[in-house]
Structure 1
Amino acid sequence: MSNTVVGMAVGAALAWAALVFEFWGFLLMAVFLAVGALIGRAADGKLDLRGVRDALTGRRSSS
């Protein structure tokens, strides 16, 4: 099982607890799943966090 799947499972478990709070819990579930997937991909080495940071701050890549 990859770290991405584990991260999504952790996010889903956290989101399940948030579902008690109706619609906002559903939105929190989506956020938790996305964060869990991102953490898992970063742990697998499939996501370049510096590249993501540079894209969010508007810096251009050298390639």
Structure 2
Amino acid sequence: MSRAAIGLLAGMALAFAGWFGGFGAFLLVAALGAVGAVVGRLMDGDVDWRDFRTPGGRRVR
């Protein structure tokens, strides 16, 4: 699945959450989507978890 299609699906999910659940549901779906994206990138190995601990992404050795 292309990134454009994934973005389209995420946008549609946010739109449905905002329409049917209100602004609180919109924020919840957006926050959980962001957490899922970070966890997915960590599991794929694209991002090292130590990058989130240090300011500016610098690694401490």
TM-score, normalized by length of structure 1?
A: 0.54
The match for 1:49 is: 49
The match for 1:39 is: 39
Taking only the aligned residue pairs, the percentage that are identical comes to: 45
> With CA pairs under 8 Å and 6+ residues apart, which has the higher RCO, 1 or 2?
1
Larger Rg: 2
Map 1:1-63 → 2, pairs under 5 A? 19=17, 21-55=21-55, 60-61=58-59
Alignment length (residue pairs):
47
1:27 offset after TM fit, Å? 0.6
RMSD: 3.0
1:61 offset after TM fit, Å? 3.5
1:54 offset after TM fit, Å? 1.4
